[in-house]
Amino acid sequence: MKTLLRAALLVWSWQATAALPPPDLTGYRTVATAITTTMAKTNSAAAGQSGFLGIHVSPDPKGKLVIGEVGENSPAARAGARVGDVLLKLDTQLVASADALRDALQRKAPGDFAHLTVRRGTKSLDLLATLGATSRPRKVGAQRAVMGIRTGEVTDQGVPISSVTTGMPADKAGLKASDVILKVAGSVLAAGQSVSELLAEKSPGDKVSVVVRRKGEEQEFQVTLTADTTTTTGEEPRVMWKKPGYKLAIIGVEFPDTRHNPAVSMGEWEQAMFSTGSYTKTNATGQTVYGSLTDYFLENSVGKLRVDGRAFDWLEMGKKRGDYSQAASTTAKTAFLTEAIDLLLKRDGTNALKDFDGIAFIYAGDRYPNVNRGSLYWPHRGSVTYKGKRWPYFICAEGGRRMGNISVYCHEFGHMLGIPDLYARPENPGSEGLGNWCAMSNQTPYGRPQHFGAWCKEQLGWLAPAVLDPTVKQKLVLAPIEGSTNECFKVLIRPDGSEYLLLENRRKTGFDGSLPDEGLLIWRIVGNRVILEESHGVEGPSGPRMFLTDVPYPSPANDAYTPFTTPSSRSLLGGGLPVHITNIRQHPDGRVSFHLGYEYQ
């Protein structure tokens, strides 16, 4: 009983504190007045890595740090550091211990300068080192730099070019099939080595020298590399849609054994998808609705994206619904989708899809039972090539006796815009997902899909956060993000932006009306991995789905987010900048205030 009473008093105390207005917000900064910074530029291969100096230090009997080893050809060696030097300062700051040196270097990125002050004998010397990277991982997909050629085997005479891709950098530079490559970026290819290996440390946009032999003469070409547009997984490279409009074709397909619900006309689907401000009462089968797909994206993007289109009348496919059901192969899916487009163009004319950007297929009936992930009837986004044109599409169920709501449609259309799935996926054990806090994870119930999270909005160009250095002390206030294109803070954990936080203040309004609760959401971004830092402190896959009213800050569990709280703000990549977000308060007017950079003991 005492424990329950104590818990009740704690909750009451927190609620009372959170409900009270602050005594004074004088001195608090907004997104418009905050002290901002910029992300440090770094080579993409080194993003997320700490700067590497290449020395081993240990204290002498007097506590001074002595360099015991200097790595061969390391940044320290090239700067002139020697074994026996006493390390006094790094960038004018005294270095008290090996741990302090490590922490300081972990805040730097490869390519940064490190100013060292050392004592050598009786002299004090200043050394300047350019930090290296701890490793140089190989690149795949869009990170990989290519010139657009295919080559034969390396011989003593060089490597012959078998083909040059039209429009790619090699073609633009003047390279031709039958040229024999002698050098790339100043290096001769060794037996068994490929051109791609010589380009492994290059980035898209770099210019490299290519020396070839053509008709017995050596010629040199300057080739500006571009990003690889293929991936090892066979998936298309992800490109974010940032145009102000999207024209979507809705194609309904039914089957000899499964007809569409006669109560739901294609006019009703057109209302559900493309109307503005009028789809707010009930749909054709009586369910409450809160707006159309167009309304949803206008609200999310604050008017930066308008979805328009047309819903074409139902088409009857040639086979029963079950005959297509588990088509998981690209060939089987293509056959189904091609049949549907054939039927449409035969009925409505060859120009029926002219000027459309993508297609949404609605198949008759409720969601197909026991559908395999990746199969045709699993709601998904894909692409189909029809007579030489590549069409992005998504497919969803009609809903059967109850007209489907727009939640899944908004999620799948998010993929059309370039946003990936952000829910916990079975092929990624341990992934948490984002629960009901982002429509690209799990949708809130009742057919009112919640907003995209701040990361999605920034990727699509709908949100421009104010970028902050967490070591710069400031008191901040954040208004609700709904209806704003800039009400968000990006707090850098690593200066190069390879790890950072996005802070947004979410309110139960508009399409966010079904959120479990309101307050400050803290998103951690590592590369392109999005992690929700739940205030309740329960970590793991169940975190986003537990104690839902305690996910936003402040909560009875936490009114701060620091290296010493649970969850912790410590970098997942190691090192990084110390992040102290403290004194988080929620105010009656909907704003949230907090302190950044203030470490409370």
DSSP 113: E
Using the CB atoms, write b or e for 32-46: b if 16+ within 10 Å.
eebeebeebebbbbb
Structure confidence at residue 273 as a pLDDT band (50, 70, 90): very high
pTM of the model: 0.76
Whether 238 shows a pLDDT value over 80: the answer reads: no
| Kind plus residue range of the DSSP H or E element containing 137 | none
DSSP 544: G
Whether 423 shows a pLDDT value over 60: the answer reads: yes
- 438 shares a domain with 551: yes
Whether 142 shows a pLDDT value over 60: the answer reads: no
Whether the CB-CB separation of 583 and 562 falls below 8 Å is answered with: no
Query: Which of the listed ranges 10-14, 284-288, 421-425 does the model predict with the highest average pLDDT?
Result: 284-288
pLDDT of res. 229: 59
Q: How many residues does the chain have?
A: 601
Structure confidence at residue 398 as a pLDDT band (50, 70, 90): very high
CA distances from 334 to 25, 126, 314, 383, 560 (A): 60, 66, 19, 9, 52
- 74 shares a domain with 163: no
Mean pLDDT of the chain: 88
Whether the CB-CB separation of 201 and 45 falls below 8 Å is answered with: yes
507-541 pLDDT tens trace = 999 999 999 999 999 999 998 889 999 999 998 77
Whether 265 shows a pLDDT value over 90: the answer reads: yes
Give the torsion sign (CA, 494, 496, 501, 503): positive
| Residue where one domain finishes, among candidates 80, 102, 131 | 131
Strand 207-214 to 51-52 pairing: unpaired
In the chain, % of residues over pLDDT 90: 64
Tell me if 574 is assigned to some domain: yes
pLDDT of res. 546: 84
Tell me if 85 is assigned to some domain: yes
- 388 shares a domain with 521: no
Average pLDDT (463-488) is 98
Give the torsion sign (CA, 89, 92, 97, 99): negative
pLDDT of res. 236: 46
pLDDT of res. 4: 44
- 180 shares a domain with 94: no
| Residue where one domain finishes, among candidates 131, 161, 195 | 131
- 520 shares a domain with 482: yes
CA distances from 169 to 166, 217, 228, 338 (A): 9, 22, 11, 34
pLDDT of res. 457: 98
Whether the CB-CB separation of 66 and 59 falls below 8 Å is answered with: yes
Whether 6 shows a pLDDT value over 60: the answer reads: no
Average pLDDT (383-408) is 93
- 176 shares a domain with 42: no
Whether 14 shows a pLDDT value over 50: the answer reads: no
pLDDT of res. 444: 84
- 370 shares a domain with 268: yes
Number of domains in the chain: 4
pLDDT of res. 48: 58
pLDDT of res. 199: 82
Structure confidence at residue 143 as a pLDDT band (50, 70, 90): low
Tell me if 89 is assigned to some domain: yes
Tell me if 303 is assigned to some domain: yes
- 161 shares a domain with 275: no
Enter the tokens of residue 535: 């205030």
- 426 shares a domain with 343: no
Tell me if 427 is assigned to some domain: yes
Enter the tokens of residue 211: 């020396």
pLDDT of res. 3: 40
Site of tokens 């440390």: 201
Whether 126 shows a pLDDT value over 60: the answer reads: yes
H helices present in 203-320, as ranges: 266-274, 293-301
pLDDT of res. 13: 42
- 171 shares a domain with 107: no
More confident residue, 454 or 63: 454
Whether 12 shows a pLDDT value over 60: the answer reads: no
| Residue where one domain finishes, among candidates 417, 441, 457 | 417
pLDDT of res. 154: 79
Which structural domain range is residue 378 located in? 245-417
| Kind plus residue range of the DSSP H or E element containing 595 | strand 592-596
CA distances from 154 to 161, 184, 223, 372, 502 (A): 10, 13, 20, 46, 49
295-314 pLDDT tens trace = 999 999 999 999 999 999 99
Beta bridge partners of 593: 477, 585
- 514 shares a domain with 537: yes
- 526 shares a domain with 544: yes
More confident residue, 54 or 139: 54
The DSSP secondary structure of 18-83, one letter per residue, reads HHSPPS--TT-B-TTTS----PPP--GGGTTPPEE--EEEEE-TTS-EEEEEE-TT-HHHHHT--T
Average pLDDT (215-222) is 93
Whether 561 shows a pLDDT value over 80: the answer reads: yes
CATH code, domain with 171: 2.30.42.10
Residue 178 falls in which region: left (phi positive, over 0), alpha (psi -120 to 50) or beta: left
Structure confidence at residue 135 as a pLDDT band (50, 70, 90): confident
Site of tokens 């206008």: 298
